[in-house]
């Protein structure tokens, strides 16, 4: 046996050791990767942390988690923040007014320190049912659906959660499903 290991021996040994270390620490590594993936979205641009917390709770009632991810899991509130900074910036003032109205209802019923997010699910649903015809709820509902099912590059649909719910594949390109409607297409030019 050669007393001086070759580069090949070094890489083979290192690769085996690294693989073993990764296998033993897989949950921690996966948690770190998940945190890093979401870390770029930690800062809100137009929403305050309190507004984001309340809107996230509303979105979670619109698309709740059960055995599948809900709006919170999909990071819908980050889409809302980005939308309210860009294409839906004209809705920000109305959304804040509607949120203040909702919190006024919450505090009138549950005390001056109450928040929507802290209410029970039943109390949240009761309040949202009361305002479901309001422009505020319509805006939040639209932003929730767009954030859940839109392209993940816009801040929501984290890990393609919404697309998975719809059964969509995450591919860069698709092959059309050739069938009866295009039969003979290839022969037309021959």
Q: What does the radius of gyration of the chain's CA atoms come to, in whole angstroms?
A: 24
For the stretch 100-143, pLDDT in tens is 999 999 999 999 999 999 999 999 999 999 999 999 999 999 99
For the stretch 56-75, pLDDT in tens is 999 999 999 999 999 999 99
Question: How many whole angstroms separate alpha carbon 52 and alpha carbon 81?
Answer: 8
The residue among 139, 148, 51 whose CA lies nearest residue 94 is 139
Q: What is the mean pLDDT of the chain?
A: 80
Question: How many whole angstroms separate alpha carbon 127 and alpha carbon 172?
Answer: 42
pTM of the model: 0.70
């Amino acid at each position: 046996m050669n007393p001086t290991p070759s580069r090949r021996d070094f890489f083979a040994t290192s690769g085996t050791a690294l693989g073993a270390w990764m296998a033993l620490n897989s949950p921690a590594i996966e948690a770190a990767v998940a945190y890093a993936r979401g870390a770029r979205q930690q800062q809100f641009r137009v929403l305050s942390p309190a507004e984001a917390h309340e809107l996230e709770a509303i979105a979670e009632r619109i698309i709740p988690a059960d055995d599948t991810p809900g709006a919170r899991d999909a990071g819908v509130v980050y889409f809302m923040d980005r939308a309210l900074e860009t294409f839906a910036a004209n809705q920000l003032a109305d959304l804040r007014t509607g949120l203040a109205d909702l919190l006024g209802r919450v505090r009138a019923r549950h005390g001056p320190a109450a928040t929507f997010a802290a209410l029970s699910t039943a109390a949240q649903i009761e309040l949202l049912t009361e305002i479901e015809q309001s422009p505020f709820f319509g805006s939040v509902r639209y932003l929730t659906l767009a954030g859940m099912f839109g392209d993940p590059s816009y801040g929501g649909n984290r890990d393609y959660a919404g697309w998975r719910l719809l059964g969509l594949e995450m591919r860069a390109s698709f092959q059309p499903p050739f069938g009866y409607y295009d039969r003979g297409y290839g022969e037309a030019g021959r």
